[in-house]
Amino acid sequence: MYWTRTLIPTTRETPAEAEIPSHQLMIRAGLIRQVSAGVYDWLPLGWRSLRKIFAIIRQEMNAIGAEEIHMPALLPAQLWKRTRRYFDYGPLLFRLADRKEAEMILGPTHEECVTELVQAYVRSHKQLPLTLYQIQSKFRDEARPRNGLLRVREFFMKDAYSFHTSLESLHETYQAMYGAYVRIFRRCGVPAIPVEAQSGPIGGDASHEFICPCDSGEDVIVRSEDGSYAANLEQAGRADGGGRTLADAPAAPPGELHKIHTPGTTSIEPVCRLLHVQPQQMIKTLVFTANAGESRQWVVACVRGDHEVNEAKLRKVVGNMELAEDQMARAAGFVIGFVGPHVVNRVQARLVIDPDALMVPVAVTGANEADWHVTNFNWKNNLSAARCGDAVVADIRNVTPEDRAPNGARLTFHKGIELGHVFKLGTKYSDVLGATYLDEKQQSRPMIMGCYGIGPGRIMVAALETRFDADGIRWPMGIAPFHVVITPIKYEGRVKDIADRLHTELQQRGVDVLVDDRDQRPGVKFKDADLIGIPLRIVIGEKGLSGGQVELKRREEKQATLVALENLADTVTNLIRANV
Amino acid sequence: MYWTRTLIPTTRETPAEAEIPSHQLMIRAGLIRQVSAGVYDWLPLGWRSLRKIFAIIRQEMNAIGAEEIHMPALLPAQLWKRTRRYFDYGPLLFRLADRKEAEMILGPTHEECVTELVQAYVRSHKQLPLTLYQIQSKFRDEARPRNGLLRVREFFMKDAYSFHTSLESLHETYQAMYGAYVRIFRRCGVPAIPVEAQSGPIGGDASHEFICPCDSGEDVIVRSEDGSYAANLEQAGRADGGGRTLADAPAAPPGELHKIHTPGTTSIEPVCRLLHVQPQQMIKTLVFTANAGESRQWVVACVRGDHEVNEAKLRKVVGNMELAEDQMARAAGFVIGFVGPHVVNRVQARLVIDPDALMVPVAVTGANEADWHVTNFNWKNNLSAARCGDAVVADIRNVTPEDRAPNGARLTFHKGIELGHVFKLGTKYSDVLGATYLDEKQQSRPMIMGCYGIGPGRIMVAALETRFDADGIRWPMGIAPFHVVITPIKYEGRVKDIADRLHTELQQRGVDVLVDDRDQRPGVKFKDADLIGIPLRIVIGEKGLSGGQVELKRREEKQATLVALENLADTVTNLIRANV
């Protein structure tokens, strides 16, 4: 390809709207262009790289026997109502009506669609296992699209779905998929750490995320120092998280709760300052609403003042729930901002206590009265036993650097980008959508499912975030838009002839070549070559040619090497082969 | 690939909802599955074939220097309002609002989006010409989705857009694109006739459709018997279409219009029966509304009773217009169903007369009164000259088999499927969206554009429609999901070993192989192999193997040939090479 015949709109300016390096580089190197918030054009360079990522994914998916299909973006809302995700997804779901007023959605993922598809065709255990995948555009109406391709509203996803007759068969495909993911990320040149993630209905070792460690990431992962344990923050467990009940709370001398006026201080830090106490001496109390069948149930969750409630962990205890809506909670008697655990003495609610909160002997907490806190709170003294029959002590908080991994090792914390997710779904979708098969004994059984996602755009973000330098992008060879950029000092005469000949010769060898045939000063061309980050650069000038030589430079090196023209194609081909 | 590991849901039953052969075959052979009206899943076999079509298109696009990009489906409505297509597209456009109530659309095509993209980056004539293309999902809310992939609501399109500084440059790319299209359709194994189509703003030879002749097609094309002329019905001209004015109307003896009671007969045929006249003696009068700037203008179009008004031709005379809405036309004084040309004597309207209608000396036509017609109508006697100052005589009807081509040759009519379209757009979009460049003299000029579409799904429809037989599909080699199906008589023992070995060996040679490893009777496997239409079938049985032979059969042949095992891979590879 010749530079003047394609569109590579490089720019020296750092775009104001781009905060993280990959976003800045994608715009500066002309990989993408924003159409509206979180919706992007893929320009030629970006698209070439993304297509290479697709190709690697396809090869690895096909190699493990997954078969490619393509499902539509436009889905009937009715299908999503059957699994209730039409409601659960909330405003994240793009909704529309067609000309006949039929409700449609734009698919943010395709579990329903693929389950219905398989349900329609698979009758017998002989047709299973089956793994289907697609690389297709997804739509999610994110509240705050940001960070370039990290949080977008229209994006490509590789989503795979597997169908099984047994947990063993699911596990086999899960492991094959896990292996394919490891190979995909390696071939794309991005580091990816598999971490335990939300386990869902199957329980146990049933879900892993692949995280690229990187400061711009929005995810937090937790690893044990000995490297034997890794999980996302949502999932990360701790050594001393379990096994206690309300009866294990420390005793304290009986005494009245002492009310203190704390006007307008609804969060931990200002209360600590005002009362000269430490967060470790406080109990933080949050109110949630859980869906208990048709009716709503209040949940009061207590953690120590220096800890954060982990909603995923809390969900494991109380089922599906969300932070209570302020106004409704107030109407029910929760003085939001000043709630203390003893609110359960007068409002019917389920109490869930983190073990560390339980072990605070006398605590400062909300007084259940606006602008007041109490000191001297003790679980045994101040809770009405009659109202705490169903109180639970459970790990419901994020781990902190003071915690130990379940195996006792120290924990380290890292930011990262989630690149992919493998998940044992179980029969959640097949139960609701009637995806059953007949087993050997002609018994009807629900199919057991797994689902497996990769964000190809996020792979690109991760490749950029982990490899750029002050001059621009440094593409991994495997996903570089071009392997080689040929930079003629001046594209004319003998230099032009050689550039054209090399372009043809390398292309015939399967090398992706870009010739910078622009009428620009060499300095501009060099700067652009660095910015767009092509792994190999060949500089052709009159001076070198007179000695039968051209300059070959790797993007990460400062110094070029002189290579004899007759050896160039071999040298380049070998360098590429060694790096993909 | 092994049959039991993929999903090929064949069925013997002809689906009730499918009217045309390709639709029936696509469902019976398990290529697609309907998700909702006009929205389909691509199942493994169909998707494999479609991806081969994509690959051929990409190769030919890249070969002429077009560069691939990818634009989003989710587009801001605002952009489409600027070109007014937001309004012009009407209910065909899927519209939605995001969580911030911003209006969005799902792109039915991408002229606006690509023009804005190029506008943002191209400043200088040095950056032009530039051709960008994508293969991407489009959305159109068709009133009546039907005929499988022929009229759908979500579908793939290859759309290319070129940008130029001169008409010569546009013409060059147009010709290159035209050549690429010819090669694409040939490589996909579908016959495609380029025909003149609606010429748009550039005029002249500025638009061609590629039509696959086929009875299931929804388009009509007109060809001259000598093969030198071809056009779609919309565009097809005739030898004697022009050069007349109202003054050329034949004279007739003066006489009153004679009113005849024709209750309830609003169309030509029953009037002819009732009055014992021929359609050639009648004048058919239709009422349209044209958009003349802000205001509406009535247009009265007259053709002979045996002819059909051609709206595209009429549009060339009066500009953008549509058939008048009944109620509004009645309110303005048009007695719809009984309108005669002399209505212009009392209602302000623009009169457009087809030359053949003009040459009827005394005609039967509507009386401009409900349930009445008139006889004895003559253009000179019965039109008020004062109201006919802007009357135009012009070719505004479809050609018929009685017409001659512009070159005088006889015409033949064929149904067909539109597969692609090349179009010289001119500056329509660049003017509105400000896509300008600086020429050599630093003058700002609008870019001249072309656009070029292909429907990959329609290529598949055309391949099926033109090649099926009673047993099923007959894929062209170039787009067949698999080149070869290996059918073991019984997949076990030595037969299994040979089948597996051949599968591996052929795959290593780049052959796409499907092994029918199902535990099914040979008859079922043979029937399915014919139905899914794989070009080559290898049957492996104990009997043949004892002589070191297997059966090789081409899908279109009745008889198989015995081939020695050691020659098989070469024979197969040669057959494939000879047919792609």
Rounded Cα distance between B333 and B345, Å, is 11
A7 vs B65, B104, B121: nearest CB: B121
DSSP-assigned letter for residue A65: T
* Cα–Cα distance, A208 to A420 (Å, whole number): 8
CA dihedral B371, B377, B379, B384 (to 10 degrees): -60
Which residues of chain A does B65 touch, with a Cβ-Cβ cutoff of 8 Å? 5
Q: Is the pLDDT of residue B488 over 80?
A: yes
Residues of A in contact with B48 (CB under 8 A): 68
- A·B CB contacts under 8 A: 158
Quote the Cα angle for B121-B127-B128, to 5°.
110
Helix, strand, or coil (residue B161): strand
B15 touches chain A (CB under 8 A): no
pLDDT at A202 over 60: no
Terminal C-alpha separation, chain B? 21
Residue A229 to residue A242: CA distance in whole angstroms: 18
Nearest chain A Cα distance for residue B288, angstroms = 24
Q: State the Cα–Cα distance between residues A425 and B563, nearest whole angstrom.
A: 49
Query: Is B30 touching A (CB cutoff 8 A)?
Result: yes
Option in A41, A94, A95 nearest B117 (CB): A41
Mean pLDDT score of chain A, rounded to an integer? 93
Q: What is the pLDDT of residues A41-98, one digit of tens each?
A: 999 999 999 999 999 999 999 999 999 999 999 999 999 999 989 988 888 999 999 9
Q: Do the chains contact at A143 and B99, CB–CB below 8 Å?
A: yes
CA dihedral sign, ordered B168, B170, B175, B176: positive
B129: cis peptide before it, omega within 30°?
yes
- Does pLDDT of B205 surpass 70? no
Chain A CA closest to residue B518: A126
The minimum CA-CA distance between B75 and chain A, rounded to whole Å, is 7
Please tell me the distance from the alpha carbon of residue A232 to that of residue A210, in angstroms, as a whole number.
10
In angstroms, the first-to-last Cα distance of chain A is 21
Collapse the DSSP code of A85 into the 3-class scheme (helix H, G, I; strand E, B; otherwise coil) and give the result. Answer: helix
For residues B273 and B83, give the distance between their C-alpha atoms in angstroms, rounded to a whole number: 48
* Cβ–Cβ < 8 Å for B401, B315: no
Quick count: other Cβ atoms within 10 Å of Cβ A406? 17
pLDDT above 90: residue B256: no
**Where are the alpha helices (H) located in A333-369, listed in sequence order?**
355-358
Amino acid type, A306: D
Residue A199 has pLDDT above 70, yes or no: no
Residue among B98, B117, B126 minimizing CB distance to A141: B98
Q: Distance (Å, rounded) from C-alpha A438 to C-alpha B398?
A: 59
pLDDT band, very low/low/confident/very high, at A153 (cuts 50, 70, 90): very high
- Cα of A84 to nearest chain B Cα, Å: 19
A406/B contact by beta carbon, under 8 A = no
Cβ-defined contact of B127 to A4 (cutoff 8 Å): yes
Q: Is the dihedral of CA A148, A149, A150, A152 positive or negative?
A: positive
Of B196, B266, B202, give the one whose Cα is nearest residue B234.
Answer: B196
* Residue given tokens 């003017």 in the structure block: B431
A11's CB contacts (< 8 A; 6+ apart) are A27, A28, A30
Query: Which pLDDT score, from 0 to 100, does residue B203 have?
Result: 54
A43 contacts in B (CB within 8 Å)? 69, 117
CB contact under 8 A, A117 and B33: yes
CB contact under 8 A, A94 and B98: yes
What gap in Å lies between CA B329 and CA B336, rounded to an integer? 7
For CA atoms B161, B167, B172, B174, the dihedral sign is positive
Nearest to A49 by CA among A184, A188, A148, A154: A188
CA distance B530 to chain A (A): 20
How many CA atoms, within 13 angstroms, populate the side-chain half-sphere of residue B346?
11
- DSSP-derived letter for residue B472 is B
B positions 409-468 inside 8 Å of A (CB): none
Q: Which chain B residue shows the shortest CA-CA distance from A44?
A: B69
Cis bond upstream, residue A129 (ω within 30): yes
Nearest chain A alpha carbon to B4: A127
**Which of B4, B69, B125, B131 has the most A C-beta neighbours within 10 Å, making it the best mutation to test the interface with A?**
B69
**Chain B interface test: which of A96, A136, A503, A520 (most B C-beta within 10 Å):** A96
Residue B6 with chain A: CB contacts under 8 Å: 67, 130
**Closest partner CB to B69 (pick from A4, A47, A153):** A47
Contact A358, A379 (CB under 8 A): yes
Strand partners, B277: none
Reported as a single tens digit per residue, the pLDDT across A353-411 is 999 999 999 999 999 999 999 999 999 999 987 777 789 999 999 999 999 988 888 99
Which A residues in the span 487-526 are in contact with B, Cβ-Cβ below 8 Å? 519
DSSP3 helix / strand / coil % (chain B, rounded to 5): 35, 30, 35
Restricting to A residues 144-173, those with a Cβ less than 8 Å away from any Cβ of B are 153-154
CB within 8 Å of B75: residues ≥ 6 apart: A35, A36, A39, B104, B105, B106, B107, B112, B113
Contact at CB, A4 and B118, closer than 8 angstroms? no
**Tens digits of per-residue pLDDT, A492-530?**
999 999 999 999 999 999 999 999 999 999 999 999 999
One-letter amino acid for residue B160 of the chain: A
What's the pLDDT band for A205 if we cut at 50, 70, 90? low
- Cα B229 off chain centre by: 19
**What is the C-alpha separation between A152 and A580, in angstroms, rounded?**
29
Question: Which has the closest alpha carbon to B542: B501, B492, B502, B500?
Answer: B492
Mean pLDDT throughout B488-505?
97
Stretch B9-35: mean pLDDT, rounded?
Answer: 94
Give the distance from residue A12's alpha carbon to the nearest chain B alpha carbon, in angstroms.
Answer: 14
Q: What is the DSSP letter of A325?
A: P
CA–CA dist B461, B457 (Å, integer): 6
Determine the average pLDDT of the residues in A431-450. 97
pLDDT tens readout for residues B95-147: 999 999 999 999 999 999 999 999 999 999 999 999 999 999 999 999 889 88
Q: Is the model's pLDDT at A309 over the cut of 80?
A: yes
Domains of chain A: 17-71+110-238+412-464 (3.30.930.10), 246-393 (3.90.960.10), 482-578 (3.40.50.800)
Half-sphere exposure of B206 (CA within 13 A, CB side): 17
The string over A291-319, giving b where at least 16 C-beta atoms fall within 10 Å of a residue's C-beta and e elsewhere, is: eeeeeebbbbbbbbbbbebbbebbbbbbe
Indicate if the pLDDT at residue A319 is higher than 80: yes
Confirm if A334 and A351 have CB atoms less than 8 A apart: no
CA distances from A377 to A380, A387, B35 (A): 9, 17, 59
Cα A562 to Cα A552: distance, rounded to the nearest angstrom: 6
Residues of B within 8 A of A447 (CB-CB) are none
In chain A, whose CA is at the least distance from the CA of B133? A44
Average pLDDT over residues B8-23: 92
Question: Do the Cβ atoms of B36 and A102 come within 8 Å?
Answer: yes
User: Distance from B132 to chain A by nearest Cα, in Å?
Assistant: 8
3-state secondary structure of A362: coil
3-state secondary structure A487-528: EECCCCHHHHHHHHHHHHHHHHCCCCEEECCCCCCHHHHHHH
Choose the weakest-confidence range: A111-115, A403-407, B572-576: A403-407
Q: Which residues of A touch B1 (CB under 8 A)?
A: 67
Question: CB distance B7–A132 less than 8 Å?
Answer: yes
Q: CB–CB of B44 and A68 under 8 A?
A: yes
Tell me the β-bridge partners of B287: B300
pLDDT at A70: 98
Q: Dihedral angle at the C-alpha atoms of A255, A256, A260, A266, nearest 10 degrees?
A: 90
The CA distance from A554 to A533, in Å, is 10
Tokens of A74: 């436009």
Both structure tokens of A281: 């001496």
More confident residue, A291 or A232: A232
Question: Which chain B residues touch A106 with a CB distance below 8 Å?
Answer: 74, 96, 106
pTM: 0.90
Q: Does A370 touch chain B (CB under 8 A)?
A: no
* Range of lowest pLDDT (A375-379, A458-462, A562-566, B383-387): B383-387
pLDDT at B292: 62
The dihedral built from the CA positions of residue B18, B23, B28 and B34, taken in this order, carries a sign that is: negative
Strand order in the sheet with A392-393: A321-323, A283-292, A295-304, A350-353, A392-393
Nearest-neighbour CA in chain B from A105: distance (Å): 10
Q: Is A67–B5 a contact, with Cβ atoms under 8 angstroms apart?
A: yes
Q: What is the pLDDT of residue A543?
A: 93
pLDDT band for B201, please (50, 70, 90 cuts): low
Distance CA A117, CA A120 (A): 5
CB contact under 8 A, A36 and B74: yes
What token pair was written down for A488? 């003629």
Whole-number average pLDDT of chain B? 93
Distance from CA of A140 to the nearest CA of B (A): 10
Assess contact for B426 and B448: CB atoms under 8 A: yes
pLDDT of residue A201: 53
Distance from CA of B512 to the nearest CA of A (A): 13
| Binding-face residues of A in 57-96 toward B, CB within 8 A | 65, 67-76, 91, 94-96
pLDDT above 80 for B214: yes
Distance from the Cα of residue B440 to its chain's centroid? 40
Residue of B nearest to A91 (CA): B99
Least confident of A291-295, A300-304, A380-384, B133-137: A291-295
Evaluate whether B475 touches B533 at the Cβ level (below 8 Å).
yes
The pLDDT of residue A203: 54
For residues A529 and A31, what is the distance between their CA atoms, to the nearest angstrom?
14
